[in-house]
Amino acid sequence: MNVAPPRRLEPILTSLEEARDRDDLQAVIVDFRDYFRIDHLVYHWVSADGDQYGCGTYAPEWVARYLEKDYLRIDPVIQGCYQRFHPVDWKRLDWSGKAVRHFAEEARAYGIGNQGFSVPLRGPNGQFALFTANHSCPDAEWQAFTERHRRHLILIAHYFNQKALEFEPDRTAEAPRALSPREVDALTLLALGYGRAQVAQTLSISEHTLRVYIESARFKLGAINTVHAVARALSRGMIVI
Amino acid sequence: MLRYVYGDDLHRFPHLADTMFRDRADQFKTRLGWAVSVDEKGHERDDYDALNPLYILWEGPDGRHQGSMRFLPTTGPTMINDHFRHILGGGTLTSPLIWECTRFCLARGAASHVAAALMLGGGEVMRQFGVKHFAGVFDARMIRIYRMIGALPEVLGSQGEGRARISVGLWEFSETARRQVARRAGVPPELSDLWFRQSFGAAPLPLSRSA
């Protein structure tokens, strides 16, 4: 067990990339949770026909209870995120109905925090999943946390979902996310040690446009920042210097 | 007022939705001469409307549509990745932090602040949802309007000639640009915030309420 929480995301993303089964995913999500220093991080997959799979740090007793009571039907997080593509702060959800209030009180009794931030995810064939950060703290503290980590949480949510999809037995193989020619050019020049201004000038594009290409490359590479994206592109032979 | 409405919720605003799709027919087919399809209801709709996009709409005091635009994340199908890859030098633009903005539409005779208000709404989406960039597909003739309201996209390239000229560009909203757009829109930040909350809900804190 970790004594100190992980201080960098890169090694955790490497573990995610190397994950070979769902047990590995469970270990990875615990690492991410420790990195963010929050109570819970949870991945919850709901297939088109209602089958569920999840991993994360909620108490197993709560997960069993959730399944037994079929809380999927009333869980406002599911209701509020299904068919949406923006990240959802739990404060924006409707927690007013009697059954929902009871559900929320019960969740709290099982150690689920009062704050939540959920990223809706979509895969092939109507796959739907949620990646949720959960914590107990005052509103202001949570707002500061989500503003600081929101983009990383969104990216990690997508990377996690892509990995989970790989473990589907009857999945349709997805084409690997190829870097575009411009993304290859940009990362190659960065790998050569050019500054952003130089890269933009060399490619005859603005720095803003360069940032967009780097953003897209970062996502395709499953990377957390530009340096990480360059390292991954190099190690995978997608760029050569 | 600004409304943020997903496709599957448009039915809750029937008049607003009906007039948006009619205004889109009027703008893109009648005025701009794009090769878009208009159905028997007089609605201009394309395949991306069927993907449950997020619309930002300006609703006039009479409940009618005065302007709108449409967003989809670039992790799914988008116009740029499906039809305009060559403008980006080949390949796709893909990230949950880059959303595509299309069908920027202004109703005939829309008040001058409507375009700015829509951009203000776009800025709220970026700020509240962590989106970093918008990539847009628009008619080259709209650039004049974008410049006027202080939300000039960076044009990456264009395709077609004359009336059929369609451009692909990028928006990035700095705090300065946001303030400028808010001023042009004549919408105080508090009001913009309120509209955003009205659309996306602002229920009391979950779980924390005492039993």
Q: Where are the domains positioned within chain A?
A: 10-166, 181-235
How far off is chain B from A27, nearest CA to CA, in Å?
A: 25
Total residues belonging to chain A = 241
DSSP state of B33: -
Which has the closest alpha carbon to A93: B207, B129, B4? B207
CA distance B55 to B72: 9
AA identity, residue B130:
G
Contact B65, B107 (CB under 8 A): yes
Q: Give the ipTM of the model, two decimals please.
A: 0.95
Sketch the domain layout of chain B as residue ranges. Answer: 2-200
Q: Which residues of A fall within a CB distance of 8 Å from B95?
A: 215-216, 218-219
- What percent of chain A clears pLDDT 90, i.e. is strictly above it? 85
Residue B209 confidence (pLDDT) above 50: no
**Interchain CB distance below 8 Å, B207 and A107:** yes
Could you say which of A80, A177, A206 has the minimum Cβ distance to residue B154? A206
Residue B211 confidence (pLDDT) above 50: no
How far off is chain A from B22, nearest CA to CA, in Å?
A: 25
- What percent of chain B clears pLDDT 90, i.e. is strictly above it? 69
For the segment B127-156, the average pLDDT, to the nearest whole number, is: 90
Q: Output the CA–CA distances (angstroms, integers) from residue B121 to B16, B72, B125, in the order listed.
A: 17, 15, 6
**Chain centroid offset of residue B154 CA:** 16
CA distance B141 to B123: 22
pLDDT band (50, 70, 90) for residue B143: confident
- What percent of chain B clears pLDDT 70, i.e. is strictly above it? 95
CA distance A36 to A9: 10
How far off is chain A from B41, nearest CA to CA, in Å?
A: 26
**Interchain CB distance below 8 Å, A215 and B74:** no
Pairing between β-strand B65-73 and β-strand B98-106 as defined by DSSP bridges: antiparallel
**Helix, strand, coil percent values for chain A (each to nearest 5):** 55, 10, 35
State residue A61's pLDDT score.
97
State residue B120's pLDDT score.
94
State residue A176's pLDDT score.
65
Q: Which residues of chain A have pLDDT under 70?
A: 1-3, 171-176
- Between A103 and B174, where is the model more confident? A103
State residue B18's pLDDT score.
98
pLDDT band (50, 70, 90) for residue B174: confident
A76-90, pLDDT tens digit by residue?
999 999 999 999 999
AA identity, residue B22:
R
Is the CATH code 1.10.8.60 the one for domain B2-200? no
Residue B206 confidence (pLDDT) above 50: no
State residue B175's pLDDT score.
76
Q: Torsion angle of alpha carbons B116, B117, B123, B127, nearest 10°?
A: 150
Is the CATH code 1.10.10.10 the one for domain A181-235? yes
State residue A171's pLDDT score.
67
CA distance B122 to B116: 10
Q: Which residues of B fall within a CB distance of 8 Å from A139?
A: 205
**Interchain CB distance below 8 Å, B156 and A209:** yes
Total residues belonging to chain B = 211
CA distance B133 to B177: 13
**Chain centroid offset of residue B200 CA:** 16
The b-or-e profile of B103-139 (16+ CB within 10 A means b, else e) is bbbbbeebeebbbbbbbbbbbbbbbbbbbbbbbbbbb
Using CA coordinates, name the residue in chain B closest to A98. B211
Residue contacts between A and B (CB atoms, under 8 Å) = 125
B4-57, pLDDT tens digit by residue?
999 999 999 999 999 999 999 999 999 998 889 999 999 999 999 999 999 999
**Interchain CB distance below 8 Å, B203 and A154:** no
CB atoms within 10 A of CB B175: 9
Is the CATH code 3.30.450.80 the one for domain A10-166? yes
How far off is chain B from A150, nearest CA to CA, in Å?
A: 6
Q: Which residues of A fall within a CB distance of 8 Å from B132?
A: 151, 211, 215
State residue A172's pLDDT score.
63
Contact A222, A12 (CB under 8 A): no
State residue A5's pLDDT score.
83
Angle between helices B113-129 and B189-200 (to 10 degrees): 60
State residue B194's pLDDT score.
92
Residue B53, φ and ψ in degrees, nearest 5: -75, 170
State residue A4's pLDDT score.
81
Which has the closest alpha carbon to A44: A20, A18, A62? A62
